Amino acid sequence: MACNPRTSVVRSLKVNDTGYGSAVFVGDLVDFSPVSYIFAVQREVPIFDGDEGDLSAYPIYSAPLPIGRQEPAVQMDVTNTCPFICAGDVRVIAISTASMVQFGSVRSIRADTRVKNIRQLLRGLPPK
């Protein structure tokens, strides 16, 4: 668990929208690893072949995630003078894909969102 967990108290929380793989947490969390793979095909003429969802055809979905530079471990002592994490009235308009809103401690977050957009437009027609 994260260092020195505390009790999270939220008076009110209003979230209008959460995206795929997103979450709201009130309290402590050990690990959070959301993953969202999005494949969007936009066509001027809505004709579907039925085989549009084969993600293996696109390397973006299988490429390894780059690992950030690892900082050396830091030794620290934390003394929380209050055993609570307090929040008043919180309003969240939107939580995007593979992300989170949290009140509390977290040890590790590794979020992965991969998006492939394809636009198929007709050729040879004058623009509208």
What are 111-122's pLDDT values in tens digits?
Answer: 899 999 988 888
Q: Which two tokens stand for residue 84?
A: 């609570």
d(C-alpha 62, C-alpha 117), whole Å = 16
Is the whole model's pTM more than 0.85, yes or no?
no
Q: Which two tokens stand for residue 111?
A: 């979020």
Q: Which residues of the chain form beta strands (DSSP E)?
A: 7-15, 23-26, 29-32, 35-43, 84-92, 100-103, 106-109, 112-120
Kindly report which listed range (7-11, 32-36, 64-68) carries the lowest average pLDDT score.
64-68
**Residue 90 pLDDT > 90:** yes
